[in-house]
Amino acid sequence: MENFRLPKIDMPKFEMPAAVKQVLAEAEKELAHRPKLLQLFKNCFPNTLETTTKLMEDGTTFVITGDIPAMWLRDSVEQVIHYVPFAKEDKELQRIIGGLIKRHMMYINLDPYANAFNETANDWHWDANDQTDMSAWVWERKYELDSLCFSIRLAYTYWKETGLTDIFDTNFKTAMRKIVDLWKVEQRHFEQSPYRFNRENCPDIDTLRNDGMGMPVNYTGMTWSGFRPSDDACDFHYNIPSNMFAVVSLRQMQEIARYGFRDELFVAEMKKLEDEINHGIQLYGVVTHPKYGRIYAYETDGYGNFCLMDDAGTPSLIGIPYIGYVGSEDEVYQNTRQFILSKDNPYYFEGKVAKGIGSPHTPDGYVWHMALSMQGLTASTDEEMVAMVNMLEATDADTGFMHEGFHSDDPTIFTRKWFAWSNSLFSQLVYKAMKRGLLK
C-alpha cells in the first residue's frame, strides 16, 4: 500500500464530544499506575474523531480508514463502535454516529456491491482499471458480504443504546431492501448475479478467478461473497463468519422492520432468508476435526471443499461471540477457538515477543493487533483478557498506537502506522478490562 501515491483529504477539526472527554478523564484515574497503557489509551480512544472524521454539510459523516483517503463500510463502523455506549446523552456523538449511519445508507443505495467509497463523486479509485461496474463514488468495488452487515450492526446498536429512530427513514428502508435482494441473488451467484470483478497485474488475492465470477459454488442456502473481511479474495466463496454475521444482521433488520417500519411482510421474508443461511452454516460450515472435534470451517464451496483457518480481520471465527452469532460458551465455538489458537491454524504465529493470529494479507510470522484485541474481547477468563492487554501494550513499537500486522519476533517491523480501526478495537478491550477492575 505504501507504493501508491494517495490523494489527500482535509479533515477539519471539531470539538471533542463531552462523553469522550469524560472517558479519558476516567482513564487518567484508573490507569495512572500504568503510564504507558494510559498514554496508549489516550492516543487510541479518540483517534478516529481526531484524525479520520469529517462532518458533512448534508448532516452525514464521512470517516476515512486512516492512511487511505476513502471510507470503508466495515472499517468506519468499527472505528466508531466504541463511542456508541456513550451516545445516549451526548448530542455531539449522536450527530457524528447518526450522520455516519445515514452516509452508509446513501452509499448502499448507490452500490451495495462496493466496499469503499469516496467523499464525493470525484472518480478516485484504488485501481482505475478494475473491470467491474464502477461509479465515480466508488473507491473500490470488492464485494464483501460483511460490509453490509456492519452497516446494520451500527444502526441497530445505536438505536438500542439511544432509543433514537430518526435514522429509520425511507433511505434506510430502501437500503435494507437492497441488502436483502442482493443476499437472495447471491444465494445463487452463478445463475443470477450480475457481479464481476477483475484486476490485472496484481497479486492473486486481489482479483477473482474464472473471468471475475470466482470459483464454482454449489447451492447451500448461504450467500456468496467475493472477498474476505481482509479485502483478499475468498478461496471458497461461502465465508462462514460473514454468513454468521448475515444471520445476525437479518435478525436485527427484522426487529427494525417490525418496530421502525411496521412491515410484517418484510419481516417474514427476512426470517425465511435467515433460516436458509443458518441452515447452510450448520450443514456445510461445521466439520469434524480429528483433534478438536466439531469446529467451524472458515470457508466452503458447498461441494465438500473447505479451508480450516482464521483471519485477523473481523468478522472472524474467533470473533463469533463479538458479532453475536453464538455465545462464548458454545461447544463448537470453544472447539474452534482451541484450533484457531494453535499451530494447526496456518495463520497462527508464535515468536520471541508475541503469539497470535495473522493473515494471508501480511507475511508469515506477522501477528495482528486487531486479532489480539479480539482474542481479549472474547476471552473466557480474566487472565487471558489481561494477557492480551499486556501483549498489546508491549508491541506498539513505542509509537503510541496500534498497527495492522507486526513481526512476532520484532514489533518494530510492522504494517500501517495509521490504522484507526485497530486503535478503536484496542480501546474497546482496554475500557472493558478497566471497567471490570482487571487493570488495577
| 3 bridge partner residues | none
pLDDT < 50 positions in the chain: 1-6
Stretch (H or E) spanning 273: helix 264-284
Q: What is the pLDDT of residue 68?
A: 86
Short-list 52, 258, 234, 53, CA closest to 143:
234
What whole-number distance in Å separates Cα of residue 344 and Cα of residue 346?
6
DSSP state of 186: G
What CA–CA distances, in Å, run from 112 to 51, 217, 222? 27, 21, 18
What whole-number distance in Å separates Cα of residue 396 and Cα of residue 414?
9
Q: What is the pLDDT of residue 8?
A: 57
Helix axes of 382-394 and 369-377: crossing angle, nearest 10 degrees = 160
DSSP state of 303: S
Please provide the distance, in angstroms rounded to a whole number, between the alpha carbons at the two ends of the chain. 39
Q: What is the pLDDT of residue 144?
A: 98
pTM for the complete prediction? 0.96
What whole-number distance in Å separates Cα of residue 109 and Cα of residue 61?
16
Short-list 35, 193, 169, CA closest to 104:
169
Report residue 138: phi and psi, to 5°.
Answer: -95, 125
Angular region, 123: left φ>0, alpha ψ -120 to 50, beta rest:
left
Q: Residue 133's CB: how many other CB atoms inside 10 A?
A: 14
Helix axes of 35-44 and 382-394: crossing angle, nearest 10 degrees = 80
Domain boundaries of the chain, sorted by first residue: 18-435
Return the half-sphere exposure (C-beta side, CA atoms, 13 A cut-off) of residue 88.
6
Short-list 344, 260, 268, 282, CA closest to 310:
344
R_g over Cα of the chain: 21
Helices then strands, each counted (H, E), the chain: 16, 15
DSSP 216-248: -----SS---SB-TTSPBPSSSEEHHHHHHHHH
Q: What is the pLDDT of residue 168?
A: 98
Q: How are beta strands 61-63 and 293-296 bridged, if at all?
A: unpaired
Residue 263 CA, chain-centre distance (Å), reads 29
Q: What is the pLDDT of residue 9?
A: 59
Say if residues 93 and 17 touch (Cβ distance below 8 Å). Answer: yes
pLDDT tens by residue, 246-276: 999 999 999 999 999 999 999 999 999 999 9
Stretch (H or E) spanning 390: helix 382-394
> Cβ neighbours of residue 41 under 8 Å, at least 6 residues apart?
24, 27, 31, 427, 430, 431
Q: Report the CATH fold assignment for 18-435.
A: Glycosyltransferase (1.50.10)
Q: Where are the alpha helices (DSSP H) in 112-263?
A: 145-162, 170-185, 189-192, 209-212, 240-260
